[in-house]
Amino acid sequence: DGGITQSPKYLFRKEGQNVTLSCEQNLNHDAMYWYRQDPGQGLRLIYYSQIVNDFQKGDIAEGYSVSREKKESFPLTVTSAQKNPTAFYLCASRPGRRMNTGELFFGEGSRLTVL
């Protein structure tokens, strides 16, 4: 079945440690996104990528880094510079502009807790 797979689902990290969240899609989508969700807030865009080897900062990119070496993969690294990393992280994708209905396809999310 086609879809987006995020791992791990739950992750605990000590302060000062970097952690990488995996996002893989087999939908052949061009664009991929990382969002962060905190209680009572909407999803906030961290980074997005419209094409391999290219990505742009979203609204809250500080303390995060990404790479897009393959079309299928868009990992997110939460660095020790991110001051409040405990959150629910959602990866999403959608087709290129030609097939674009505006619908985002989300993974099941990764819940990161910093101890």
Partner 1 sequence: RKEVEQDPGPFNVPEGATVAFNCTYSNSASQSFFWYRQDCRKEPKLLMSVYSSGNEDGRFTAQLNRASQYISLLIRDSKLSDSATYLCVVTPGGYNKLIFGAGTRLAVHP
Task: Identify which of residues 71 and 79 has a Cβ nearer to partner 1 in the complex.
Answer: 71
Q: Which is nearer to partner 1, 50 or 86 (CB)?
A: 50
Q: 82: which 2 tokens?
A: 């991110």
Region from 13-21, 67-75, 78-86, 98-106 binding partner 1, contact rule CB under 8 A: 98-106
Alpha carbons 62 and 64: distance in angstroms, whole number: 6
Alpha carbon distance 51, 7 (integer Å)? 22
Confirm or reject binding of residue 69 to partner 1 (CB under 8 A): no
Strand, helix or coil for residue 98: helix
Report which of 49, 52, 54, 111 is spatially closest to residue 85, judged by C-alpha positions: 111
Q: Please, what is the minimum distance in Å from the beta carbon of residue 28 to partner 1? A: 17
Q: Does 2 bind partner 1 (CB under 8 A)?
A: no
Q: Whole-number minimum distance, CB 108 to partner 1, in Å?
A: 6
Q: Which stretch binds partner 1 (CB under 8 A): 13-21, 64-72, 73-81, 88-96?
A: 88-96
Residue 3, CB-side half-sphere exposure with 13 Å CA sphere:
7
Rule CB under 8 A: which of 12-41 touch partner 1? 31, 35, 40-41
* C-alpha to C-alpha distance for 60 and 57, rounded to whole angstroms: 8
Answer for the pair 49, 96: CB distance below 8 angstroms, yes or no.
no
Tell whether residue 71 is a contact of partner 1 (CB under 8 A). Answer: no
Report if residue 89 touches partner 1, rule: CB under 8 A.
Answer: no
